[in-house]
Amino acid sequence: MTFQPLGNRVLIERIEEPTTTASGIIIPDNAKEKPLSGNVVALSKKLADAGVIAVGDKVVFGKYAGTELSLDGKTYLVMDRKDILGILN
């Protein structure tokens, strides 16, 4: 199944944080923060034409940004372009 965002929206796959600390301590799920970065998987035609952001870019977004969406057993975020804080190089 494919998903094509509309308007100024972007489909993002979160980048999972490590489950252990540098010293080997396992972090339980209830103590972990949701990652605030992810990879752009799809974007609206309007944004693709503008060239501001591209599929494959690694982006940082706000803590409460986006709406979760499940596709083919994976969880993604759909968010407005204005919720993306920047692109990581």
pLDDT of residue 23: 75
CATH fold label, 9-16+27-88 = 10 Kd Chaperonin, Protein Cpn10; Chain O (2.30.33)
Task: Return the closest-CA partner of residue 76 out of 13, 2, 10.
Answer: 13
**Letter for the amino acid at 84?**
I
Q: For the chain, what percent of residues have pLDDT higher than 70? A: 84
What global pTM score does this model have? 0.80
Q: Is there a contact between 12 and 40 (Cβ–Cβ < 8 Å)?
A: yes
Q: Where are the alpha helices (DSSP H) in 8-63?
A: 45-50
Q: Decide if pLDDT at 67 tops 70.
A: yes
User: Which one is predicted more confidently, 1 or 30?
Assistant: 1
> Domain spans of the chain?
9-16+27-88
DSSP 8-state secondary structure symbol assigned to residue 20: B
Question: pLDDT tens-digit profile of 6-21?
Answer: 999 999 999 876 666 6
